[in-house]
A = this chain, B = another copy of it.
Amino acid sequence: MSKRLRLGIIGAGRIGKLHAENIAYGVPAAEIAAIADVNLSAEMEAWARGLGIPKVTKNPEEIIKSDVDAVLICSSTNTHADLTIAAARAKKHIFCEKPVDMSAPKVRAALGEVKKAGVKLQVGFNRRFDHNFRRIRETALSGAIGDIQIIKITSRDPAPPPVSYVRVSGGIFLDMMIHDFDMARFQAGAEITEVYAAGAVLVDPEIGKAGDIDTALVTLKFANGAIGVIDNSRQAVYGYDQRLEVFGSKGEARAENDTPSSVRVSTREGVTGDKPLYFFLERYKGAFVAEINSFIDATLNNKPVEVTGEDGLADMYAALAAGKSLREHRPVTIAEILKDEGAA
């Protein structure tokens, strides 16, 4: 492998472009050799040229079959598993946006191919690379807060997605809370063993009609004895609310939201500060950069990736358990889901 990693990107939508720009402008250790998108346009070609990407194509196979060292799979979710399999067979290292697939068997099939090929696969759970959440994990790993006992995650979007999206999203647990399941497992340093989900339709009745909920509280039990809770809302009118609290035998670490400025204004009416950064692209701006750097570092220097395909699968099982818990109105173990899924 060359000292500079040669990358191909598949999918030039919002997230593919984001990664491309982060790499072009901020990752000297990598170069983008090609980018593919089924909806190739003149505008996209101009954008790619601007970034110095030499090749643009409609066909992802061209990239997979080229001499790149690794591919970034940023296309639509339904293509992830097949592209992962194809890339693995072509012996390319893989960064795949989450989720690898909406069906657990397909994910397992893809992971099997990855294993067989001996390539690296990192799944795009970017929040693990967030400066605040990472600082908490490092604090816990340092022993400063002792054994972890309670994990609390708040994760609320600024506004609900269109109902048309909700309908095909896989539901709040697979679409939104899956990030939080991943964060919970990351922070606990242990697997989730059981979940109990309480949910409600409080934001928009149309979401309820679409068969989903928009507000959820999920209780977690972890293999190391810790317990946890995640709360999700599709609408926090004050902005993107992303907080975390890890409580242990020797202390607690807590992250507040990031804000555009530190300014407080005091007037007769009160003391006012900034709202949280409004959207995930702003809030996790640095996390996206760190995530890609981590993948490139793992690939170039043959280190383990920081978010594995198995992580993605475990997160999905937690989401499936939460869905079943909500439907059946009882706590559901991950072991039960593994059985359901023919994975145990």
A-to-B contact residues, CB < 8 Å = 24-26, 28, 50, 52, 131-132, 135-136, 139, 144-147, 149-150, 152, 154, 156, 196, 198-200, 202-203, 215-217, 219, 221, 225-229, 231, 233, 235-239, 241, 247, 249-276, 329-331
Contact A132 B261 (CB under 8 A): yes
B-chain residues with CB within 8 Å of residue A250 when the two chains form the complex: 237, 267-268
Tell whether A231 pairs with B264 under 8 Å between CB atoms, given A202-B225, A221-B198, A270-B272: no
Contact B256 A262 (CB under 8 A): yes
Bound Cα distance A237, B274 (Å): 21
21 residue pairs A–B, Cβ–Cβ below 8 Å: A52-B52, A139-B263, A139-B265, A144-B265, A149-B202, A150-B233, A152-B231, A196-B198, A200-B221, A217-B219, A217-B227, A236-B252, A237-B250, A238-B252, A238-B267, A238-B268, A239-B266, A251-B265, A252-B265, A257-B262, A266-B275
Bound Cα distance A227, B197 (Å): 11
Ranked 7 nearest A-B pairs via Cβ: A251-B267, A25-B25, A238-B266, A256-B262, A135-B261, A135-B263, A149-B202
B-chain residues with CB within 8 Å of residue A252 when the two chains form the complex: 236, 238, 241, 265-267
Which residue from B25, B251, B272, B273 sits with its C-beta under 8 Å from A26?
B25
Tell whether A238 pairs with B132 under 8 Å between CB atoms, given A219-B217, A227-B217: no
Bound Cα distance A276, B219 (Å): 26
Contact B253 A264 (CB under 8 A): yes
Tell whether A136 pairs with B263 under 8 Å between CB atoms, given A147-B202, A233-B149, A270-B275: yes
Which residue from B144, B150, B237 sits with its C-beta under 8 Å from A217?
B150
B-chain residues with CB within 8 Å of residue A251 when the two chains form the complex: 237-238, 265-268
B-chain residues with CB within 8 Å of residue A50 when the two chains form the complex: 28
Contact B255 A261 (CB under 8 A): yes
Bound Cα distance A200, B276 (Å): 34
Min CB distance A46 to B, Å, is 11
Min CB distance A196 to B, Å, is 5
Contact B273 A271 (CB under 8 A): yes
Bound Cα distance A266, B242 (Å): 14
Contact A149 B272 (CB under 8 A): no
Contact B231 A150 (CB under 8 A): yes
Contact A271 B275 (CB under 8 A): yes
Contact A265 B25 (CB under 8 A): no
Task: List 6 additional contacts besides A196-B331, A254-B263, A255-B262; criterion CB under 8 Å.
Answer: A136-B263, A200-B225, A251-B266, A254-B265, A259-B271, A330-B330
Min CB distance A115 to B, Å, is 35
Min CB distance A137 to B, Å, is 10
Bound Cα distance A229, B228 (Å): 11
Q: What is the chain B residue whose CB lies nearest that of A245?
A: B154
Min CB distance A182 to B, Å, is 19
B-chain residues with CB within 8 Å of residue A139 when the two chains form the complex: 263, 265
Bound Cα distance A146, B237 (Å): 10
B-chain residues with CB within 8 Å of residue A258 when the two chains form the complex: 262
Tell whether A263 pairs with B255 under 8 Å between CB atoms, given A26-B25, A219-B196, A247-B236: yes
Min CB distance A224 to B, Å, is 10
